[in-house]
Amino acid sequence: MTSQFFRGINYTEKVISDSDQKVLGTANPDWFIVEGNNNVVKTGNGNDVVLLGRELDLIFNFDTSIFSGQVLQTSPTPCNNVLDAIVRTGAGDDYVSLGSGNYTISLSSGNNFLDDYGGNYLFDGDGNIIGLEPISTLVASAGSGDDIFSLSGFANRTINAGNGNNLILLGSGDANINTGSGNDIITSDISILTYVVDTGFSSYNQTIKAGNGDNQIAVVPYGETTIQAGSGDDFILAAGISNSSFAKIFAGNGNNTIITSDTNSTIRSGSGDDLIFAGSGNDTIYGGNGNDVINLRGETVCLPNPLSTDTNLFGSSIEVTGGGNDTVYLGQEKDTDTVILGSSGFAAIYGFGCNDRLNVSGLNASFSRVGNDTLISSCGGSLGILKGYTGSVNLV
């Protein structure tokens, strides 16, 4: 039997080559390599390792803001079969690595690491991607703890992460992500670019529901993405593919930062002083209670730590370019909201009041009354309109 030294523990590998087995863990930390199909694996308490359709290549150090330690690099087993399996782990810091297949994974309390490589691409003789294997599916849950879900490649996934400061890296494919209370980081894995840019395959839908906490979410919609956040000061970024991306963002109470780029978006902010950047695309924005700033002009926006260090896709900042036909609904009259207009696009602004402010700096803007509205013009073109408002406009 092969031995492995991982995270300070000596393991003895056990290979499950048969199918239709019920595999039980021992009182000691276990290391299972599952090659057979349709198996049920139940580990005991302890720091266990389960490889499903994968074999170990090397052990290396992985460092993020919420996790620093050893992880595994694995590759498909020689048979490279698509497996079905159920895994249930006990309490402990468990490690599960998945190849192509259909899996149900239940992780207990602890700081767990789930590594799902997703499905495989089909190549022609010249190495060009020409198709996909059957789409893998994953249903996974975790108890309380600071868990990491590394979801690369393509697959249809449902993830229910428990309370804790979780890190979730999303690949391509339909996804339903739910997290509990904690400061979670949810972002797109760089493998998504292979799917979108190199293949041109069909779009997908993703739903993300983050619990209470100061969450940081930065994803690449390719199809429709819905993001809902609980109470806390959240950072939400949806940077899409032009003419192929739709985003629905529901921010909870708190001082949130919300950014959309190259998406047709609907944004609803809760109570709090929110900062909203709506880039290129046709956006509808509903401001909640609080003194909100809605930037339709665009600018370079720095990503916060630890998101800027934990993602290998976005880096430390993103350039938001304004434009599009936007509709803005401001919050209560007693609030002081600020709308920043750019030189491109058109904005219809509802609910503008005497306490609100408009930023048209550098645009040589003029204002004219059109019925019960105020038209905002610049250089012979129209920038926007204040619907139902003909009073004085506070400029900043």
Q: Over 80: is that where the pLDDT of 30 sits?
A: yes
Domain total of the chain? 1
The whole-number average pLDDT for the span 66-86 is 86
Q: Is residue 362 part of a domain?
A: no
Q: Tell whether pTM > 0.85.
A: yes
Q: Please answer whether residues 245 and 226 qualify as being in contact, where contact means their C-beta atoms are separated by less than 8 angstroms.
A: no
Q: Over 80: is that where the pLDDT of 86 sits?
A: yes
Residue 90, classified by CB atoms within 10 Å of its CB into exposed (0-12), middle (13-18) or buried (19+), is: middle
What tokens does 192 get? 């998504």
Percentages helix, strand, coil for the chain, rounded to the nearest 5? 5, 50, 45
Q: Is residue 72 part of a domain?
A: yes
Q: Report pLDDT digits (tens) over 144-153.
A: 999 999 999 8
Q: Is residue 363 part of a domain?
A: no
What tokens does 388 get? 């139902």
Q: Report pLDDT digits (tens) over 259-294.
A: 999 999 999 999 999 999 999 999 999 999 999 999
User: Scanning the structure block, which residue is given the tokens 């391509």?
Assistant: 172
Max Cα–Cα distance, the chain, nearest Å: 84
Q: Is residue 315 part of a domain?
A: no
Q: Over 80: is that where the pLDDT of 64 sits?
A: no
| Domain boundaries, position 5 | 1-102+135-191
Q: Is residue 285 part of a domain?
A: no
Q: Is residue 53 part of a domain?
A: yes
Mean pLDDT of the chain: 93
User: Scanning the structure block, which residue is given the tokens 């509802």?
Assistant: 350
Q: Is residue 201 part of a domain?
A: no
DSSP letters of 44-81?
-SS--EEEESEEEEEEEEEE-SS-EEEEEEEEE-TT--
The whole-number average pLDDT for the span 29-34 is 96
Q: Please answer whether residues 215 and 304 qualify as being in contact, where contact means their C-beta atoms are separated by less than 8 angstroms.
A: no
Q: Please answer whether residues 229 and 220 qualify as being in contact, where contact means their C-beta atoms are separated by less than 8 angstroms.
A: no
Q: How far apart are the first and last CA of the chain?
A: 72
